[in-house]
Structure formats: C-alpha cells, structure tokens
Amino acid sequence: MKGQIKVAKRRVVMASLYLGTGPLEQELVDCLESTLEKSLQAKFPSDLKVSILLDFTRGSRGRKNSRTMLLPLLQRFPEQVRVSLFHTPDLRGLLRLLVPERLNETIGLQHIKVYLFDNSVILSGANLSDSYFTNRQDRYVFLQDCPEIADFFTELVDAVGDVSLQLQGDDTVQVVEGMVHPYKGDRAAYCKAANERVMGVVSSARARQQALHAQTFHSDSLLTQEDAAAAGDRRPAPDTWIYPLIQMKPFEIQIDEIVTETLLTEAERGARVYLTTGYFNLTQAYMDLVLGTRAEYQILLASPEVNGFFGAKGVAGAIPAAYVHIERQFYSEVCSLGQQERVQLQEYWRRGWTFHAKGLWLYLAGSSLPCLTLIGSPNFGYRSVHRDLEAQIAIVTENRALQQQLHQEQEQLYLRSGAVSAATFEQPSRQVKLWVKLVTPLIKNFF
C-alpha cells in the first residue's frame, strides 16, 4: 500500500471503517504526507488529490482516533486532502444521546473497504489497522491498471463523501453546502438525497458499461487470444469481467443483496459454493436459500478463539459465544433437514491470529476451478444487508490461470479449518451461558 502511495500522481482514495492509531498506521499517514509534499515540489498547484472516507462513530472513538491521526494532513494540505466521516441517519435524537460510544456503532456504519491509487485498486474486507497488517486473516484483490473500476470507486467514494460530514482542520465537522444533515436534518429527505447522489454514480457506470459491452461483443474487431497474438494489433476477446456491487439499505440501494440472492438461487445441482464470513450470522433469506437449494455448500467461519471479539471486556466479550449459539442453531437445522452432506460448516483456527475473511467462490458442476468470486466488505449478515454501507466486486472469469489463483486462495483459507460436527458443540469452549442464549435473538440484528 505504501509502495502504491509513493508512486501515485493523480489520486489516492481510501475508504475504510476506521484508521488505527498505532505506529504502522502512522507510517501510512507519513507516507501520504511525504507523497503530497513531493507532488507540491514537482508542480504547484499539485495534481494529486487524496480522499479518505471513514465512519464517523468508529473514527471518533477515544481521545486519540482516526480524526486526530489525519488532522496534520488536512492542516498542511487543505487544497489536496479531503476527509469525509459518514454518519448513519439512523443514529439520531434521543437514541444518539443515550447509546454509549462503543455501542453506537451497532446502529449503522460506513463499512466499505477500497484502497485506490491512480488507476489501480485494492478491494478487501480489511480496515486500515495494525492487526490487518500483521495477524488478522482477510482477503485482498489488487486490480492493476483498471481505469474503469478505479473511476467507479472514486466516484462512489466521492458520492458517499458528499453525504457525509467533512472533517475540518480544527477537528470540527461540516455538512457539504446544500446537503441535508445526516442526523439533525429530516431523515427521509437525507436518505432521498443520498439515494439520488449514489444512484447517479451507478447509472453513469451502467451507461459506460453498456457502451463497452456493445463495443466488446458487437464489434467485428474482436479476435481470439491466439489470433490477436498473431495479428498483434487488435484487442483479444475479454475472458474476465468485474462487476461492482453496492449495498446501502438505509438509502434503499440493494444491488449486492439482489445479486447474492440470485447467485444462491441459481447455483445448480452439482455446483459447489464456498462461502466464508468472519461473523456467521446469515440473514434469514440467505439461510433459506442455502438450506433450500441444490448446490453443495462449504461454509467457513471463525472458531471462538479467532473471533475478533474474543477476550474483549464487558458485554463484547460474550459476542463469540453468541456466534457459537447462532452456529449451533444453524447446524441443528441442517441436521434436522438431513442436509449434512450437502451443507457443511468449517471453523478456521490459527494460533495468535484472528479471522475476518469474507466472500464466496462458485464452482460450476463438474468443474475443479471456480468461475466466480465475490470479494469486499459484506459479511452476509443482517448488518451488511440492512444497516451498513457495503461494497464488493464479483469477478467472473474464464481465464484458467486466474481461476487457479482463486482456487489456491480458497484452499489456503480452508486448509486451516476443521469440520464442524455434533461433537464440536460438546467442547468446553462451545458452552454458551443461558443469558447469552436468551439475549442473542434480541440483538443478533445489531452484529
């Protein structure tokens, strides 16, 4: 990431839940500062723009936080740096006053993770925090020199930034001129404005995509890979397609949900779906599709010991047990339907690590390699679908080398897992206190 920042000439766009406050995160900020300084020395005014989108509640937590980490950049390069802090419209009024700092994040978040440098993009589920740089398992895809994808995510982050609060050099925040305030203004008016701003980006991207599709598939200039290599002067037929998917239910945008449900519905008998999430809490719709369709499922989830909340203080320390309870309920339903062979659960475990990987790989019937993967921020749970802002990409490919890479990635993750059976829940670490069992149905929609 630092390497990409150092060579960026035009734009650096970073969207994350938060930026950590440790030495590794400081190195990242220092790298941005150095690159901005060099861009000014090379040309004034500089062409380089830096746009950072974070969540307001998570980014404002504590005395030293994401905001204080970024203030020096804003103060030194006010014309080049933009820091936007998304505040959910659902945290407002009395609720905003009463919900404590650590719990207010449960209402809704900016959860998109995109790291973009000129025309290259990293899509991930990882935040800008030291654990992700060291011992927190996640997934990453680096799309090198993909201007169409880079333009889309730049525009998307700009759009969400426009409906977010703008961090100022004195650590105050302001609304973009003419925009409805996210928690002081009328909720319906804010969400309508946000929908229009974001869908404007989607509609523009669709129009460009359709034009490119027409040019690609209805052009007589297309050649096979072999013919193109021989001719040397015309583009080969594409073998890989990338589709950005976004989910922003507060703004009535649910593209990712529709595509995910369609994938689960259309997966045929004999197809294999590998689905992974750091927080196993599938929506009822996703659960029904997994249990009611014909494809085979291998679901990878975190064992309690590698759950990000393991060992946390207070109520948060009970969250891994709540996930165990949800897992056990799902496993019991699989067994009651006699689906143990078709739907299998795996638990990831790695000493000293936590697990945050999420995504999906689809293997068509009879194929030993995947033709599709989903990678990005969604966890397939209630929060991802209903509360948070999410983005991922669907990569659809016929390229055998890329298919093999995706297959190897999947295998490496699943290699560190063990199969879940009835005996799993008899282990001492899987014993769930009664109060957790009683509370979980009431709070499962918040985590």
Give φ, ψ of 18 to 5 degrees.
-160, 170
Cα atoms in the 13 Å half-sphere on the side-chain side of 327: 29
Per the structure block, which two tokens stand in for 14? 């970073």
Name the residue among 90, 118, 124 with its Cα closest to residue 16.
124
Name the residue among 370, 396, 184, 186 with its Cα closest to residue 295.
370
Residue 252, class by beta-carbon neighbours within 10 Å (0-12 exposed, 13-18 middle, 19+ buried)? Answer: exposed
pLDDT of the residue at 223 = 56
**Residue found by looking up tokens 């990831």 in the block:** 348
pLDDT of the residue at 397 = 98
Kindly report, residue by residue over 399-443, the tens digit of the pLDDT. Answer: 999 999 999 999 999 999 999 999 999 998 899 999 999 999 988
User: Which entry of 118, 130, 162, 239 is annotated as an active-site residue?
Assistant: 118
CA 121-127-129 angle, to 5 degrees, is 120
pLDDT of the residue at 53 = 98
Indicate the DSSP class of residue 235: P
Asked if the bond preceding 45 is cis, omega within 30° of 0, the reply is yes
Per the structure block, which two tokens stand in for 94? 């009395």
pLDDT of the residue at 447 = 80
Kindly report, residue by residue over 61-119, the tens digit of the pLDDT. Answer: 999 999 999 999 999 999 999 999 999 999 999 999 999 888 899 999 999 999 999 99
273 vs 258: CA distance, rounded Å: 17
126 vs 358: CA distance, rounded Å: 10
Q: Is 220 a catalytic residue?
A: no
Structural domains of the chain, with CATH: 1-202 (3.30.870.10), 240-445 (3.30.870.10)
pLDDT of the residue at 443 = 87
Q: In this structure, are residues 291 and 333 in contact, taking their beta carbons and an 8 Å threshold?
A: yes
User: Which entry of 111, 249, 325, 407 is annotated as an active-site residue?
Assistant: 111
pLDDT of the residue at 219 = 61
324 vs 369: CA distance, rounded Å: 31
384 vs 378: CA distance, rounded Å: 5
Q: In this structure, are residues 112 and 389 in contact, taking their beta carbons and an 8 Å threshold?
A: yes
User: Which entry of 49, 55, 87, 113 is annotated as an active-site residue?
Assistant: 113
Q: In this structure, are residues 83 and 52 in contact, taking their beta carbons and an 8 Å threshold?
A: yes
Q: Is 111 a catalytic residue?
A: yes
pLDDT-flagged residues of the chain (< 50): none
